[in-house]
Amino acid sequence: MLFVLFFLVKQERTNSIASQPLTASVGNLLQSKDQVLMQARQMINDLHKQLDEERDQLEDVQGDKNKLTYEVQSLQAEVQREKQRREDAESKWKKLHRDNAELQTQLDEVSGEAKAQGAHKNKIKRIMTQTNSVTFFESR
């Protein structure tokens, strides 16, 4: 930035000196220098305004970035919680499935035993019926 100002001042001096005759009055030189200084001040003011605007824009962008970073972190945490819930639900489902299979096996065993007991009862009833029939005939 200073280099630009120095260059402009030097160029203005070169232009003003080259364009003036060697017998130029001191007043003209001072007026020329004042104009260069005014231009330099104006340029400095313009550059300060641009710098302030860029700083404001940078602050806005950084604020937006911070908000988005927070949102991303919140969403990542929510995704992690959902993954954990899903894993818990899958684990519970698998446990329930195993429990169901175990209960089904126990039910099949009990049913088989009940059928066997029912068949055994029926056999005993037949034997008893036959025995009663034989006893009935013998007692006659």
In this structure, the answer to whether residues 13 and 43 fall within a common structural domain is yes
Q: Do residue 41 and residue 12 come from a single domain?
A: yes
For residues 52 and 106, the model is more confident at 52
17 touches 36 (CB < 8 A)? no
Answer for the pair 12, 36: CB distance below 8 angstroms, yes or no.
Answer: yes
What's the pLDDT band for 112 if we cut at 50, 70, 90?
confident
In whole angstroms, give the CA distance from residue 63 to residue 70: 11
5 within 8 A of 43, measured Cβ to Cβ: yes
Q: Would you say 8 and 43 are in contact if contact means Cβ atoms under 8 Å apart?
A: yes
For residue 85, the model assigns a pLDDT of 97
Residue 76 located in a structural domain: yes
Q: Is residue 124 part of a domain?
A: yes
Q: What is the pLDDT of residue 50?
A: 97
Residues with Cβ within 8 Å of residue 9, at least 6 apart in sequence: 36, 37, 40
Domain count, the chain: 2
Domain extent at residue 12: 1-17+29-48
N residues, the chain:
140
Query: Is 107 within a domain?
Result: yes
